[in-house]
Amino acid sequence: MKILLTGAAGFIGSHLTEHLLSMGHTVIGYDNFDNQYDPVRKHINIHFLTTHPNFTFIQNDIRDQASLTDVLRQYRCDTVVHLAARTGVRDSVREPALCIDVNVNGTLSLLEAMRLTKVRRLVMASSSSVYGNSSAVPFREDDDANLPLSPYAMSKRSAELLAHTYHHLHGFDVACLRFFTVYGPRQRPEMAISRFTEKMYGGQPITIYGDGSTSRNYTYIYDTIMGISRSINHLKGFDLLNIGGSGAVKLSELVGIIEQAVGRKAVIDWQPNQPGDVTLTSADLHRANNRIGYLPSVQIEEGISRFVSWYRQTVLCS
């Protein structure tokens, strides 16, 4: 396949690029190196891939429809994987207009470029945040997802609806993948596991919002990449799929697992709950298993151990 991958230099995107190239695909990476976190990290993410004969990288913004159209046409792409986004619930509360512009208008720009070039295969990243504070646990893809708690959640749900519109009007094959807190090597620095690990090694307090009872379904990067890869191979019609880990973990338990891997006790700075945060995410994976054969394989203890080992060798020793 010839795959246009937006957000190719990010955490998930760089891992996916590496995997797709290893499977023999041609990848056209597309990323604008925005400043939501240090762009140097993104350059490092893909630097070792830039000499691969089947990889081409283009630096630009997904809101540039003309550029996307030219890229799809020039490289004769047959599939698009759309990961580029303005990420994070708290950042979206601070900058809602930017979040919605990138995530909604950027997705529309991509869909229009695909329509104009007759590319009809799309796998795109959504988020577990679309479920809000659903009382139905675990979260199923056919649950109501119309009460978002943050601009980020709203933008991701809006992108899903846009994709469905293009499926209906123009015959796109679409899989919207609802990711559940992805972690592992190269994870974004503002995310809890990265931040906690950094603070513990530095002997600094970690900030916990709430009483530590909130729970998340954490998904190791390998499992997420397998979910995306399987979705590409089984792409047909329109689908919403949860791509999550094997179960929900309380924040207080997560801290304990990281403490054990790091070998240090955390000093905790307790703060009130943050606006837009949900209390629980929990993935029902039956549909993903039935449709694409997805099952997570990395348990949280093993995943944290791998992440901390990578952090120790790559970040602390750099």
* Active-site residue set: 152
Residue 207, classified by CB atoms within 10 Å of its CB into exposed (0-12), middle (13-18) or buried (19+), is: middle
Residues in the chain: 318
Q: Under a CB-based contact definition with an 8 Å cutoff, are residues 39 and 67 in contact?
A: no
For residues 145 and 154, give the distance between their C-alpha atoms in angstroms, rounded to a whole number.
Answer: 9
- Give the 3-state DSSP-derived string for 128-195, with helices as H, strands as E and coil as C: HHHHCCCCCCCECCCCCCCCCCCHHHHHHHHHHHHHHHHHHHHCCEEEEEEECCEECCCCCCCCHHHH
Using alpha carbons, list the distances in angstroms from residue 185 to 2, 44, 144, 272, 307.
26, 12, 33, 29, 5
For residues 187 and 10, give the distance between their C-alpha atoms in angstroms, rounded to a whole number.
Answer: 9
